[in-house]
Amino acid sequence: MIAALPHIVAFFNALTGVLLVIGYRHIRAGRRLQHHQTMTAAVISSVLFLIFYVIHHVFAPVYEFPGQGIVRPIYFAMLTSHVLLAVAVTPMVAITYARARRGALDRHKALARWTLPIWLYVSVTGILVYLLLYHVYGMGA
């Protein structure tokens, strides 16, 4: 089960990213109900991601990134921005979602303009980190 956790984490991360894009397209098309449903699913997917992420990092050994050359500074720059923005976007997601639920749509929209691109960046870079670690360099295999 522990060996499957990185893949489960990546699945929920990717699912969140897909749901964010779909939710954005719904709101741009004026489909508020579908936007709400999709963004609720994105929040749920993110919560599941976070649960499995924490479980994984409690039980998984710490790996040293084996990449060399130009990929090494690129990886660490991406990882650093990913972690810092993940920490920053977590309360932003909660506040953005709460504003929508309360019907404070002007305030929701104002914050969502910042939350969405950061959340999407965190999702995409999370997948890239996963691909580098588990598929390019075979960590944990």
Q: What is the pLDDT along the chain (141 residues), one digit of tens a residue?
A: 788 999 999 999 999 999 999 999 999 999 999 999 999 999 999 999 999 999 999 988 777 899 999 999 999 999 999 999 999 999 999 999 999 999 999 999 999 999 999 999 999 999 999 999 989 987 765
Distance in angstroms (rounded) separating the CA atoms of residues 37 and 53:
24
Give residue 61's Cα distance to chain centre: 22
Is residue 51 assigned to a domain?
A: yes
Residue at 94: amino acid letter: A
Angle, helix 71-102 to helix 32-59, in steps of 10 degrees = 130
Q: How many domains does the chain have?
A: 1
| Alpha helix ranges (H) inside the chain | 5-28, 32-59, 71-102, 105-130
Q: What is the DSSP letter of 2?
A: G
Phi, psi for 55 (deg, rounded to 5) = -60, -45
- Its domain, for residue 88, covers 2-136
Distances (CA, A) of 45 to 63, 73, 77, 105, 106: 26, 30, 26, 23, 25
Q: Tell me the two tokens of residue 81.
A: 């921005």
CATH number of the domain encompassing residue 47: 1.20.120.80
Is residue 141 assigned to a domain?
A: no
